[in-house]
Amino acid sequence: MSRWAALPAELDPRVRQLVVRLRRLKDHSGLSLRQLAARTGYSQKSWERYLGGRSLPPREAVEALARAVDEEPTRLLALHEVAAEAWRNGRREATAGEEQEPLGAPESLSVEATAARSPGRSLRVALVAGAVALVLALSTAVLLVVRLSGGDPAQPASPLVATGGQSSPAASASMPPSASASPSAPAYTCRPERVDGHWYAGISRTRDAILANGHAGPEVAEAQCLLRRAGISPGVIDGIFGPATERAVRQVQRRAGLVVDGIIGPHTWKALRQ
């Protein structure tokens, strides 16, 4: 078995999970990096970068590795989707940090150079900055409305107070600005019922959606309700696939004799709905 070098400490846990899985598949197959390169069409140096955590393998490379080692690619592709999102977010944060560093450069400008700037140019810059700020504010407002209304833009976006799940205009008016401006996660209600020998929680009827840590939506809430019905707590029924939900999924997979990977696929859905 290969002796792998330690992965970079700053590597996102979701990317680390994908790389570790790929390393294990490569080791269990008994293939060398050169043989893996010959079977997948990706060079040996590329696989050294992918399996060393220095570069995220493309989706096609993950599929090629799965074919080379006779592995079902569904779970690998689900891991890759989550890792790719984490990788993109990390690169955006790094780029934003690099762009902010040169902000101190204008201090070296002389007074004469500052005075020589055109007033018209300064006005245009101010207008553009104002327009960008307005667009961002409007976008944030629209997202807040959709979030508070449970995904339906046609519903009013008034803050909800704890009065039986209904909003009160008077209570909303009396709330402090910080409380009324903070978004809340969509509320899901579990209504488990057995239909044709299968359990449903009344939120989603999917039986094959691939869900993993980092996903969110009604399918996740459905799975959380079914986990709770099975006697395994997934935490809050909020439609967000977090660590608590992943632990619960692993527990139900272990109980059902499935592969314990914390990812919900067709086999795990079958176990949850039985």
Mean pLDDT per block of 10 residues along the chain (274 residues) reads: 82 93 92 93 94 94 93 91 90 66 45 47 72 78 64 41 41 41 66 93 94 94 95 94 95 95 94 93
Query: What CATH number should be reported for the domain whose range is 193-273?
Result: 1.10.101.10
Domain covering 13-94, topology: 434 Repressor (Amino-terminal Domain) (1.10.260)
Structural domain spans, the chain = 13-94, 193-273
Distance CA 244, CA 31 (A): 36
DSSP letters along 89-158, please? HHHHHHHHHHHHGGGGGGGGS-HHHHHTS-HHHHHHHHHHHHHHHHHHHHHHHHHHHHHHTTT-TTS--P
Could you tell me whether strands 198-200 and 193-195 are parallel, antiparallel, or unpaired per DSSP bridges? Answer: antiparallel
pLDDT digits (tens, 9 = 90+) for 89-111: 887 776 666 555 554 444 444 43
Contact 31, 68 (CB under 8 A): yes
Distance CA 213, CA 210 (A): 11
State the pTM of this model: 0.38
pLDDT digits (tens, 9 = 90+) for 4-20: 889 999 999 999 999 99
Query: Can you give the pLDDT at residue 172?
Result: 41
